[in-house]
Amino acid sequence: MAEIINLRQARKRKARTDKEARAAENRVAFGRTKAERDQTKAERELANRQLDSHKRDDETS
The distance in angstroms from the start CA to the end CA of the chain is 92
Q: Model's pTM, two decimal places?
A: 0.50
* pLDDT for the residue 14: 98
Write the DSSP symbol of residue 4: P
Q: Where are the alpha helices (DSSP H) in the chain?
A: 7-30, 34-53
Cα–Cα distances (Å) from 8 to 3, 5, 11, 13, 30, in that order, read 15, 9, 5, 9, 32
* pLDDT for the residue 60: 64
Q: For every one of its 61 residues, what pLDDT tens digit does the chain have, with 9 covering 90 and above?
A: 889 999 999 999 999 999 999 999 999 888 888 999 899 999 999 999 999 988 887 766 5
